[in-house]
Structure 1
Amino acid sequence: MTGPVPLLVVGDALLDHDLSGQADRLAPDAPVPVVHGARRATRPGGAALAAYLAAADGREVTLVTALGDDEAARTLRRLLKDRVRLVELPTTGRLPRKTRILARGVPVLRLDDGDGRAAGATEEARAELDAAQAVLVADYGRGTADVLRDALGRAAARIPVVWDPHPRGGPPVRGARLATPSAAEARVFADRARPSAGTAPAGGGGCPPRPVADAEPAPPDARTGLRRSAADARELIRAWGVTSVAVTLGESGALLSHGDEPLLVPAPDSVAGDACGAGDRFAATAAALLADGALPETAVQGAVRAATRYVAEGGAAGLRPDAKRPAPGETAEGRAHPDPVRLAARVREEGGTVVAAGGCFDLLHAGHVALLQAARRIGDCLIVCVNSDASVRRRKGGTRPLVPAADRVRVLMALGCVDAVAVFEEDTPERLLEQVRPHIWAKGGDYALTRLPEASLVRSWDGEVVLLPYLDGRSTTELAARAALDPAERPVGRAPTARR
């Protein structure tokens, strides 16, 4: 087979709206923020978002969901057209819509309307499940998974089924390959499933849904979170009869359990941002990788990376429904890090300050780290511009770089103070700076007597060049020279002395 395995997504579609603007004062008649200059964005939500994200990776995707003929449903069809094939179920009402009001990217209010639920299965939907090669169930508690439960059970006996559960929905079918609750959801499900709660017996396939509060259940206490999530995952494997459970832990990654000692998969980077939809990104990636034959451990690692990138690139606000769909097989896995230009544009739109810094960063040392930490503190994001391997050779000679660009980027992205990294091929970063257009271009204080060719360019868009203190005596050249010495000749406990 050539190309990725097609994915069938079964679940409850939503339509999401964001009204995003600025808030710098409270209303005179109530202690609520006044959001002004709001921009509206509309995108697929719920199971439709999971299907959209899988299709954006270049995969053939079919979505089985309940849709009517209301305005929201018609809008969703337009957003998914030419990306996702729809198999529609009858519905009892209007498509649910979720509207968030955000100020500087932070939600301040959410409005929900639309009460539609799946009214029943169809022969076409059952036939899709019987022919599917891999299934993702994105359950949002609106009945789609319930009306197709028998067909989903048959599918789980022969193909990978990933189940993203919801507290208002039912448990996964027995035999599902992977369930992906959040830590808070796993706590709710496990409390229901434990025999002391009077629910299903051991191995009994789970527990029936019951009403829950609208609020998201509180996550486990940080001191005991991992232990509780591991215990919850074991309980859910027992109660649900699924093969594996991956408890998503937000910025901490995910915990994968097969019923014994769990595997903790940490997030590759520490990122802050809008996490709306990150669970769908996680589940869609895990389902796609399992469909292509990956082991659960590999699938969860890939899903954690994808969810981290999703948040770093702006989350739901970073989606572009009008963007060209990649060709089949042209997946998003190659985008290892946030796009610097898109990140800078988003921070500017939200009223934040974009800071950029540049250099070779060959053999990253304490002087580099101190400079980058200082640069990040003066803005809302830090984008690092890195010389390519060819650029470093032209500047430093044929023996450099000591570390190839891909590895230098990875090490830089591991720093908590770095939000994005961009590699440039030229000797100086002017062309890249024109794309990023930072408010501040930060350089080390050792450039104080050096003319910076990019300074006039940065000032052309009202940006500013600033010099930051540089730790004296730190140098890649000196580090390399020390490493080349015989171990007996190396100085011990002494910092390098060359300037750079």
Structure 2
Amino acid sequence: MSTGTPLLVVGDALLDRDLVGTAERLAPDAPVPVLDGCQEWLRPGGAALAAWLAARAGRSVTLLAPLGEDPASRRVRALLEPLVTVVPLPLDGPLVEKTRVLADGRPVVRLDRGTGRAGPATDRARRLLDQAPAVLVADYARGAAEVLRAELAALAPHTALVWDPHPRGLPPVPGARLATPTYEEARGFAGDGVPEGESLGAVARTAADLVRRWRAVWVAITLGGRGALLSQGEGPMLVPAAARHSGDTCGAGDCFAATAAGLLGDGALPAEAVQGAVAAATRYVAEGGARAVAPGPEPTGAPDHRGEADGLKLAGRVRAAGGTVVAAGGCFDLLHAGHVSLLQQARGIGDCLIVCLNSDASVRRRKGAGRPINPLPDRIRVLQALQCVDAVAVFDEDTPQRLLSRLRPHIWVKGGDYAVEQLPEAAQLAEWGGQAVLLPYLDGRSSTTLATRAARTVGARR
């Protein structure tokens, strides 16, 4: 089921390929590693990856990109179906293919082939642009942004247009709502007077220079594990990432730009869009990055509003990428500083955090009549707004043991002053080699205390 404003992705599609194996010896005829157990992973690349990621997140997406009838073009179309509507531009020459060779997860060499470039714009492409409420331009320097530049420039003043520039591509059209270069790309586009170094001051001055140079409304420079810096020329805002990951970052910029474009199209403020984009890119890396991109049809049937399916998929992806799955549980009725501290600590010890949340009926059985104060949809929404929370899954029972048996986290976190042996989940976690741990909890903070204090305050005023 698609949600949110439809997104049009304009740019250059690529076919990305990873050859992945282990390297434990050198070849006898040359001092080069031998890749054993080699496997091939294919995925859409460039603008096609940005479109696929936006569609996979539940948005209706159309990709406007040069594609022909060569084998690589046909493969990209097949990888995108049925999630993305593809509208091809003419392609002169074979589509570009990029192959990474990875030994033990580390890139060894990249091989590029294909000379395809965009042909002339079509009337259908112009009509699509005229009707698009939100546009992402993913310019990979193969001509798509060039042949449609006049139409994009006319569109910019009244459309949520995000431009994701790349080193050999064009600068954004004037009036673009948001440009999203990496810091390395930003320095390449900026003038000679921009200071050296990676301090926040240097990044801020670079962003301000690009706002003026490009005549963009906003520029967000992505900083990898540090998050992103958003600038309108003055008063920059740093949007930090909730956690840092050492995984494969290939495609994280596409995830960032696609998320920001969709949120701007939904009416979010630039700061809100960048916050959402940082969170999405962080999750993307935590889940394995490009290696976790496995195109396929979405499951059919009624949407899962209780989050268990999302939690299961997330846990599976993180495990497959060799990461650590952390889970925490509770009612989280009135979210307070103690909750936030616990969840932030929990997220810091793993690669994803799944919150197991008591349903309304479960809370009533545990806390009594009148609870929960906040109904389940509100509690889910508040938790999902925290950058440290990657997924929320609901359970109806008194304990989350059935849900945990499906999620099978590596670590189960609780806050409090009792022994681990007292946790009913500890023995269950041990069944699959997991560990229950206690984290420090802020004294004097609880939903019950807050509710009691609020009730006394209201009573005193009457």
TM-fit CA distance, 1:432: 1.2
TM-fit CA distance, 1:436: 1.6
Q: Which residue, out of 342, 351, 359, partners 2:313?
A: 342
Question: Structure 2 CA distance, aligned partners of 1:481 and 1:291?
Answer: 38
TM-fit CA distance, 1:149: 1.9
Question: Structure 2 CA distance, aligned partners of 1:3 and 1:448?
Answer: 42
Q: Which residue, out of 296, 303, 314, partners 1:322?
A: 296
Contact 1:9–1:136 (8 Å) recurs in 2: yes
TM-fit CA distance, 1:25: 3.2
Counterpart residue number, 2:64: 64
Question: Structure 2 CA distance, aligned partners of 1:370 and 1:298?
Answer: 24
TM-fit CA distance, 1:359: 5.5
Normalising by structure 1, report the TM-score.
0.72
Question: Structure 2 CA distance, aligned partners of 1:387 and 1:88?
Answer: 48
Counterpart residue number, 1:17: 17
Normalising by structure 2, report the TM-score.
0.77
Question: Structure 1 CA distance, aligned partners of 2:160 and 2:435?
Answer: 54
Secondary structure, in 3 states, of the residue corresponding to 2:24? strand
| TM-superposition CA deviations, 1:430-472 (whole Å, max 9, x none) | 22122122456677894566594773x556xx52465657879
Q: How does 1:178-193 map to 2 (within 5 A)?
A: 178-191=178-191
Question: Structure 2 CA distance, aligned partners of 1:336 and 1:228?
Answer: 41
Question: Structure 1 CA distance, aligned partners of 2:113 and 2:46?
Answer: 14
Question: Structure 1 CA distance, aligned partners of 2:11 and 2:442?
Answer: 59
Q: Which residue, out of 428, 433, 446, partners 2:404?
A: 433
- Give me the CA root mean square deviation: 4.6
The 1:411–1:188 alpha-carbon spacing in structure 2 relative to 1, beyond 3 Å, is: same
Could you tell me which amino acid in structure 2 is paired with residue 17 of structure 1?
R
Contact 1:10–1:135 (8 Å) recurs in 2: yes
TM-fit CA distance, 1:190: 0.4
Counterpart residue number, 2:171: 171
Counterpart residue number, 1:212: none
TM-fit CA distance, 1:75: 0.5
Secondary structure, in 3 states, of the residue corresponding to 2:17? strand
Secondary structure, in 3 states, of the residue corresponding to 1:25? coil
Secondary structure, in 3 states, of the residue corresponding to 1:245? strand
Contact 2:15–2:98 (8 Å) recurs in 1: yes
Q: How does 1:60-99 map to 2 (within 5 A)?
A: 60-99=60-99
Q: How does 1:465-476 map to 2 (within 5 A)?
A: none
Q: Please, which runs of 5 or more residues in structure 2 have no aligned partner?
A: 457-462
Q: How does 1:76-475 map to 2 (within 5 A)?
A: 76-102=76-102, 106-191=106-191, 194=192, 221-222=197-198, 224=199, 226-267=200-241, 269-272=242-245, 273-324=247-298, 339-351=310-322, 354=325, 358=329, 385-398=356-369, 422-438=393-409, 446-447=418-419, 452=424, 455=427, 458=429, 463-464=432-433
Could you tell me which amino acid in structure 2 is paired with residue 282 of structure 1?
F
Question: Structure 1 CA distance, aligned partners of 2:8 and 2:380?
Answer: 39
TM-fit CA distance, 1:70: 1.7
Structure 1 stretch displaced more, 55-64 or 137-146: 55-64
Question: Structure 1 CA distance, aligned partners of 2:337 and 2:59?
Answer: 41
Question: Structure 2 CA distance, aligned partners of 1:376 and 1:230?
Answer: 27
Question: Structure 2 CA distance, aligned partners of 1:154 and 1:473?
Answer: 54
Figure out how many residues of one structure are paired with residues of the other and give that number: 449
| TM-superposition CA deviations, 1:291-323 (whole Å, max 9, x none) | 344443343333333333433444333334213
Q: Please, which runs of 5 or more residues in structure 1 have no aligned partner?
A: 198-218, 488-500
Secondary structure, in 3 states, of the residue corresponding to 1:279? helix
Counterpart residue number, 2:459: none
Question: Structure 1 CA distance, aligned partners of 2:152 and 2:47?
Answer: 16
Contact 1:255–1:264 (8 Å) recurs in 2: yes
Question: Structure 2 CA distance, aligned partners of 1:128 and 1:411?
Answer: 37
Could you tell me which amino acid in structure 2 is paired with residue 78 of structure 1?
A
TM-fit CA distance, 1:281: 2.0
Could you tell me which amino acid in structure 2 is paired with residue 53 of structure 1?
L
TM-fit CA distance, 1:115: 2.5
| TM-superposition CA deviations, 1:166-199 (whole Å, max 9, x none) | 11012112222221111221111003xx5x79xx
Contact 1:15–1:72 (8 Å) recurs in 2: yes
| TM-superposition CA deviations, 1:317-338 (whole Å, max 9, x none) | 33342132899xx9x9x99999
Could you tell me which amino acid in structure 2 is paired with residue 236 of structure 1?
L
Counterpart residue number, 1:52: 52
| TM-superposition CA deviations, 1:34-82 (whole Å, max 9, x none) | 6555554322111112222333344443322222222111101112233
The 1:220–1:115 alpha-carbon spacing in structure 2 relative to 1, beyond 3 Å, is: farther
Question: Structure 1 CA distance, aligned partners of 2:10 and 2:239?
Answer: 27
| TM-superposition CA deviations, 1:344-382 (whole Å, max 9, x none) | 3234334556565655678888899799969986x7766
Q: Which structure has the larger Rg over C-alpha atoms?
A: 1
